[in-house]
Amino acid sequence: MAKQKADDLTMIQDIILNAKEAAQKEIDGNAEPEFTQKISWPVDCKVGPGLEGAIACETEIGYVNGSMGYLIYRGYDIFDLCAYSSFEEVSYLLLFGELPSKEELKEFKESLNEYRHLLDIKRLLMSFPLENMNPMAALRLGINFMRHKQTYRDQAEVVSKAESIATDEDSIAMETPPRGERKSIYEFRKKQYRRPKNVQAGLVGSEGVGSCIRLIAGLPTIVAAIARIRKGHLPIEPDTSLTLAGNFLYMLTGEKPTPLAERIMDICLILHADHGMNASTFAAMVVASTLSDVYSSVEAGVAALNGPLHGGANEQVLLMLNQIGSEANVEPWFAQMMKKKRKIMGFGHRVYKAYDPRARILGPLAKMISATTPELRDFFKIAQTLEKVVNKSFGKDKNIFPNVDYYSGLVYKALNIDHEIFTPIFAVSRVSGWCARVLEYLEKNRIFRPRAIYNGEFNKKYTPINKRK
Ligand code: CMC
C-alpha cells in the first residue's frame, strides 16, 4: 500500500520533470524584451483588436512567454512549482511575493482551514434552485453571500462564530416559534450587528489580504456545495486534516481521496492559479480599479471565466470528445468543423505560439489516470488523434496547439467529477491569481478607462417618436 502510494507519486513527479525537459528542448524564440523590461508611462505599444499587445500595467506576479512556451509565477518556473510545491504554497507565493517559511506556511494553512467553514452560506445556497442554474452563476451567488457576510457582519468584533450560523435573519422572515420538536426547526435570532469601521477602507490595507485568504479558502467549499446540492445531496463539512486539494475532492465526492487523486488535483490547481492578463484577471482588476471590493472583483472574474473562449472551454472539450465518439470519427468530424469554420475547443491561445506548458503536464497526466478505465482510455485516444489531425491540418502553420483546457477535463473526469463542475474548478484555483493581481494593482491604482474609436454618425437631426417611420 505504502509502496503503491510512493510509486504513484514518483510517476507523477517523473511526468512533470519529463515535461520540463521536453519543453526546454523545444523552446525556441525571443525572450520578449518588450514585455519584460522596465518602462516609464506612457508606453508605446501596438494594439490589435481584443486589446492584443496592449500593456495595461506592470506586475511582478507572473509572466507568460508565448513564443517560448513558458510560464512563471514570481520568478519560479511552473514545472518546478508543480513538481515540488503545493497549491497552498503557490497561493502564498502569489499573494505575498515569496515562498513561505515552514512557520509561515503553517499559519497560512491554519487561516485557510478556519475559513473553509461556510455553514451559513451553504444553508443559503440550499434555498436556491441551483439545479436549474449555471454552476458558475451559482458560484457568483455564493461569493455574493460571502461578501455580504464579510462586509457587514463577520468583521465586527461583536459577532461570535456561533452566531454567524443565523446570519440571514434579514432576508428570511422569522419562522413560527419552536413547538418543542427536536428536529427540523429553524430559529432565526434577531441581532443588531455593528457595521465595522473599516468597511469604507474596502480592499486597501490588510483587510484586503484577509478577504483574499477567505476567498481562496471559501471557493472550494462553495463549489463543492453547489456540485452536491445540484445532485440533491447535502453539502459536506470540510475536513481540516486534509490539504486544500484533498479536502475539495472530499467535499465533492464524500470520500477521502487517494494520495494519487489528491496530488493530481493539487497539480491542477497549481497549473491554473495565474496566467497573465487573461480575460477574467483583467475583468477582476477592472472592477477593483473602481475601488469596489475584492468579492465583487472575484465575482467579475468568475463571470468572465465562464465563457467558452476562456475557462468554459474545458467543459466544452469533454462534450466535444463525447460528440466525436470514436477515433474513426475524428477525421470526418474535423472536416465538418472546418467546413462550418468552427473553432476546435481546447486549441489555440492569444499568447502562446508554442506548446502550452500546462498542457505538457496535463496531457501525460490524463493518459496516466485514464489508462485503467476503458471509457476514459477511449476518450484519451480520441483526444490524441484529434491533436494530431489539428496539428497536420493548420496547427503547425498557425502555431495552434492544445491549451490548458484540452486535457484538464479528461483529468477531472478520471477523478469522477461531473463536467459541469470543470469550469468552477478553474475558479477555485484562479482566485489566487485574481486576488494577488488585484492587491498588487491597488497599490498604485488608476481606474481602467480605455477609449473606443467612434465610427458612428454625427449631427443627426432628432425626430420625435410620433413622426418616425
Ligand atoms: N480552432 C480553429 N482555429 C483556431 C482556433 C481553434 N481553436 N484558435 C485559433 N484559430 C485560428 C483562427 O481561426 C485564426 O485563423 P485565421 O488567422 O486564419 O483567421 C487564428 O487561429 C487566430 O485566432 P484568433 O481567434 O484570432 O485568436 P484569439 O487570440 O483571438 O483567440 C482563443 C484565442 C483562445 C479565444 C482561440 O484560440 C479560441 O477560440 N480557442 C478555442 C477556445 C479555447 O480553447 N479557449 C481556452 C483558451 S486557454 C484557457 C483560458 O485562457 O481560459
Nearest protein Cα to ligand 1, atom 6:
343
Could you report the per-residue pLDDT of 292-305, keeping only the tens digit for each?
A: 999 999 999 999 99
Q: In what order do the strands lie in the sheet with 62-65?
A: 62-65, 70-73, 76-77
Q: Which ligand 1 atom sits nearest the alpha carbon of residue 305? A: 52
Distances (CA, A) of 33 to 29, 43, 65: 12, 14, 10
- Report pLDDT digits (tens) over 316-354: 999 999 999 999 999 999 999 999 999 999 999 999 989
**Which pLDDT does position 171 carry in this prediction?**
34
- Residue 207 confidence (pLDDT) above 80: no
336 plus 376 within the same structural domain: yes
Region 96-103: what's the mean pLDDT? Answer: 96
One-letter amino acid of 171 = S
Residue type, 280: S
pLDDT confidence tier of residue 30, bands split at 50, 70 and 90 = low
Taking the centre of ligand 1 as the mean of its atom positions, its distance from the CA of residue 184, in whole angstroms, is: 52
**Model confidence band, residue 2 (pLDDT cutoffs 50, 70, 90):** confident
CA angle 48, 52, 53 (to 5 degrees): 100
Residues 430 and 297 occupy one common structural domain: yes
Q: Are residues 154 and 265 in the same domain?
A: yes
Among 78-92, 193-207, 288-302, 376-390, the minimum mean pLDDT is found in: 193-207
Examine residue 456 and state whether it is found in any structural domain, yes or no: no
What's the pLDDT tens digit per position in 410-422? 999 999 999 999 9
Domain holding 241: CATH number? 1.10.580.10
- Indicate whether 182 and 302 sit together in one domain: yes
Q: Give yes or no: residues 354 and 300 share one domain.
A: no
The count of structural domains within the chain is 2
| Mutate-to-test residue for ligand 1 from 309, 321, 392, highest number of ligand atoms within 8 A of CB | 309
Of 369, 367, 404, give the one whose Cα is nearest residue 384.
Answer: 367
Ligand 1 lined by 409 (C-beta under 6 Å): no
Q: Does residue 466 fall inside a structural domain?
A: no
Burial of 293 (0-12, 13-18, 19+ CB in 10 A): buried
Is residue 76 assigned to a domain? no
φ/ψ (deg, to 5) at 63: -150, 135
pLDDT surpasses 50 at 459: yes
- Please write down the long-range contacts of 234-238, taking CB distance under 8 Å and 24 or more positions apart: 235/122, 235/125, 235/126, 237/117, 237/119, 238/113, 238/116, 238/117
Domain assignment of residue 377, yes or no? yes
Same domain, 242 and 323: no
Name the more confident of 37 and 274: 274
Answer whether residue 365 shows pLDDT above 60: yes
Question: Which residue range is the domain that position 362 belongs to?
Answer: 314-414
Q: Are 356 and 69 in contact (CB under 8 A)?
A: yes
Closest-CA residue, ligand 1 atom 41, reads 345
Domain CATH code at residue 322: 1.10.230.10
**Å from CA of 189 to ligand 1 middle:** 53
Alpha helices, DSSP H only, in 150-253?
206-230, 244-253
Say if ligand 1 is within 6 A of residue 344 CB.
yes
With respect to residue 177, please indicate whether it lies within any of the assigned structural domains.
yes
Let me know whether 95 and 190 are in one domain. yes
How far apart CA 130 and CA 231 sit, in angstroms, is: 9
Pair 370, 270 in one domain: no
**Cβ of residue 408 lying under 6 Å from some atom of ligand 1:** no
CB count in 10 Å sphere of residue 7:
11
* pLDDT above 90 coverage of the chain, percent: 79
Instruction: Quote the pLDDT of residue 73.
Output: 98
pLDDT at residue 198 greater than cutoff 80 = no
Residue 127 lies in a domain: yes
pLDDT in tens, 373-410: 999 999 999 999 999 999 999 988 999 999 999 999 99
Provide the residue type at 380 as one letter.
F
Whether 350 lines ligand 1, by a CB cut-off of 6 Å, is yes
Residues 103, 213 within the same domain = yes
Average pLDDT estimate for 17-36: 84
Q: Are residues 385 and 301 in the same domain?
A: no
Summarised one tens digit per residue, pLDDT across range 103-145 is 999 999 999 999 999 999 999 999 999 999 999 999 999 999 9
Whether 339 is in a domain gets the answer yes
Residues 224 and 186 in one domain: yes
Ligand 1: which of 47, 341, 397, 400 to mutate, most ligand atoms within 8 Å of CB?
A: 400
Helix (H) or strand (E) holding 70: strand 70-73
Q: Is residue 37 part of a domain?
A: no
Pair (283, 160) in one structural domain: yes
